[in-house]
Structures are given as C-alpha cells and as structure tokens.
Amino acid sequence: MYLSTTLSEVPWLLASDVVADAVEDLIATLGETTATPYFIYRLRDAMLSDTTGRRILRDRPRMTSKTIDVARLQQLPENTVGRAFVGWLEREGIEQDSRDNVRYIDDEECAYVMQRYRECHDFYHALTGLPVFVEGEVALKAFEFANTLLPMTGLSLFAVLRMKAAQRRRFWNTYLPWAVTNGVKSKEIINIYWEEQLERDVDELRAELGIETPPDLRETRRRLREERKAAQEKENMGEQRQK
C-alpha cells in the first residue's frame, strides 16, 4: 500500500519516525521523500527508455525469499552472478527480506521503481564486492548516486564523518574516485533484470555494464591489521632486547 503525502506532511513524518526511534524506517522515508518529485521520475524514465527496463516495469518482479531460491543459487557454478550474490549474503550475514516496502511515493509506477532499486541494492553489493560496514556502504552509496542520482544516496556520504582518519583518506583517495568514475560511465543499473542474470558469469556482466571492481575492502583492512600487528610485535621484541 502506498500512502499519499504532501510537502507539508514530510516534517511530521520525519518527526514521528524519530520519536518512534525507527532509524531504518526514517532512512527509508527520507529516501522516498527526497526522491520526489523529480529524481524518481528521472529513474522511471530511464527504465522506460530501455528495452529491459520496460520489461521490468511491465513484469514488476519482486526480490524476496519467495522469488529468489537461495538454495538453488548455492548450487550454481563458481563465479556466476547467483553464486556471487548468495556468497555475499552469507559473508555479510544479510537476510534477503530486510528491505522496507515503499509507502510515501504517490505514483504507483514510481513507487515500484523505488521498491525495485531498494530490493536490488544487495545485488549492487555483490556486483562490486563492497561489504556492509560503513566504509563499504558509503562507497556503494557514492556509486549509486553517480548512477541513479537519487538524493538519499548522496546524503549518505555524510557518514564519512563517522569514519576514522585513515578510513576517510582511503575513501577520498580510492573509493570515491572509483565510485564516481564507474557510476557515471556504467549503464543504468536499475535496468538490470537480475532474475535473468543469475546463471551468467559475473565478470562478463561487469564488463558489459562497464563496472570495474574496487580494491577488496575486507582484504585491505585485514592486511593493514596484520601489518600493524607485525609492527607491534617487532617493537615489543626490540624493547625486550633493550632490557
């Protein structure tokens, strides 16, 4: 069900969410209210101008545990889109039905476009390999903003302020340039009919879309932890020799 809203009702909606301490719901509400009136129509028009996008709008598939058989995806060959997706879900501990339903976009077709974007978000994670902790999520949101222009994805960049200094440098120097370059040059990711791509080689799909994967963030952080640990052990050994 989609609830009609006016501009004057937006502050009340945001206030009620804050009072209820429903942070995830607040984020979803912000995503919907900031997408209208222009940005969600632009995304809808991008789908209408694309053959696959039009089919998605006609079929209106949903990404839920009822429509995506995770057990079947686990049996697919290595490096397929489906295996990459289910592997990412398992690695990050994400449940498939964790996306809220759209409530505050009046136009039914545009509401579906927002729902489709929301339900495909985890596929964008799997496609890029980015994890769900803040550093990875912000990098993906920057990519999404460059590709979709949805305001909430751009507003998410304020989360950079939550990062440690080293993480901020890594974001500005590596992941933001990657996000902007790939988000701008790649095809509109909203037009991917993921349900038809599950058995396809994931690298082949990336090449077709024009998306290069960023440096593995989990591996980078693991390597840096090991380097710090080795440096600390070396320092401790030096102190022991001096005693």
By three-state DSSP, how is residue 78 classified? coil
120's tokens:
């495909």
Q: Is 119 annotated as a binding residue?
A: no
Those residues with Cβ within 8 angstroms of residue 18's Cβ, 6 or more apart along the chain or in another chain: 26
Q: Is 216 annotated as a binding residue?
A: no
Residue-by-residue DSSP string for 122-178: HHHHHHHT--SSHHHHHHHHHHHHHHH--HHHHHGGGGGGGS-HHHHHHIIIIIHHH
Q: Is 201 annotated as a binding residue?
A: no
Torsion sign, CA atoms 215, 147, 167, 95: negative
Query: CA-to-CA distance for 121 and 140, rounded, in angstroms?
Result: 9
Q: DSSP letter at 195?
A: G
Q: DSSP letter at 99?
A: P
6's tokens:
């006016």
Q: Is 239 annotated as a binding residue?
A: no
Angle at 89 between CA 66 and CA 17, to 5 degrees: 75
Torsion sign, CA atoms 47, 53, 54, 59: negative
Those residues with Cβ within 8 angstroms of residue 143's Cβ, 6 or more apart along the chain or in another chain: 124, 128, 178, 179, 182, 183
For the annotated binding site for Zn(2+), the residues are: 121-122, 125, 137
For the annotated binding site, the residues are: 121-122, 125, 137
